[in-house]
Amino acid sequence: MSAIARPLLIVGDRFFGFSGQEGVLTVSQFIDELGLGVYSLDDRPIVIQAGQGVTSAERQSIHDHARLFGLAERLDFRYHEPALAARNEAHKHDSCNTLIADLQRLDVDLFAANLRVHNDNELLIDHQTGEHVQGMVAIEAARQMFLAVSERYHASRYSERNYYYVIESMNTAFENFLFPLDATIEFRTVKAELDDPSRLSFAAEISILQAGRRSSLTEVAYTAFESHVIEAKEHKRARFAVDQIVAAVPVQELIAA
């Protein structure tokens, strides 16, 4: 009879608070336990499922350490390499900050992606407490989702044009805690007006789903304008704001400065 497997869930080091759950360890904690001989006391298979914050580099590091301690043959590391949304889709230069992976179209108005939170995501670097993933990650994931869907499936029909996205309204309701585990982002189209290539208008409902429950629901309305049009308006309004602020400062204060 084969030995009963030892199941573990590994998360990135930023999610140390979540490792208080039984059967959950951070990458560093697991590597430390390998070195301490915790898994050398029996011959049970070690089945690892990757949560958020785990990358292919960390997976390789864990395999290397398991090999070093003679445990490689017992290690079953179940890791999915995410297909990240492209830079022009998520509007992020650093892939560490891209939250959208494996984007696909399920129906005419329904799209889905996997949530992917890198251990060094910009939103985690200076604030990550407790066991759950902070709400700003859910909001940013919703923002990246509507950008990625719009860029890949709608704006691409006018490939010669470059669009600038303006949010008209965005409201997020938090219904359950989001934890550093697998989660799905679902985009449901409410409105998509695409006939005028100079102005694409959208409304959508974006849900983040985890463990059979909805963590958050974001309702958003936004418009994609041709970049040169909105940039000109933005520059004009920025000039107006500067002039108004400067005009409000008494002349004597400007002289003194």
CA–CA distance, 90 with 86 (Å, rounded to integer): 6
pLDDT at 1: 35
Report residue 28 CA to chain centroid gap.
Answer: 22
Residue 125 and residue 18 in contact, taking contact as beta carbons nearer than 8 Å: no
CA–CA distance, 45 with 59 (Å, rounded to integer): 17
CA–CA distance, 250 with 233 (Å, rounded to integer): 28
pLDDT at 256: 63
Q: What is the pLDDT of residues 70-86, one digit of tens each?
A: 999 999 999 999 999 99
Residue 39 and residue 71 in contact, taking contact as beta carbons nearer than 8 Å: yes
What is the total residue count of the chain? 257
Tell me which DSSP letter residue 15 carries.
Answer: G
Provide the 10 A C-beta neighbour count for residue 97.
Answer: 18
pLDDT at 234: 86
The topology (CATH level 3) of 87-225 is Thiol Ester Dehydrase; Chain A (3.10.129)
CA–CA distance, 200 with 108 (Å, rounded to integer): 17
pLDDT at 35: 93
pLDDT at 252: 64
**Amino acid identity of 119?**
N
Opening angle at CA 57, ends 54 and 59, nearest 5: 60
Q: Which helix (H) or strand (E) holds 243?
A: helix 227-247
**How does pLDDT run along the chain (257 residues), one tens digit per residue?**
356 778 999 999 999 999 999 999 999 999 999 999 999 988 899 999 999 999 999 999 999 999 999 999 999 999 999 999 999 999 999 999 999 999 999 999 999 999 999 999 999 988 777 899 999 999 999 999 999 999 999 999 998 999 999 999 999 999 999 999 999 999 999 999 999 999 999 999 999 999 999 999 999 999 999 888 888 888 899 999 998 888 887 766 656 65
Phi, psi for residue 244 in degrees, rounded to 5: -65, -40
Provide the residue ranges of all domains of the chain, joining segments of one domain with +: 6-78, 87-225
pLDDT at 232: 83
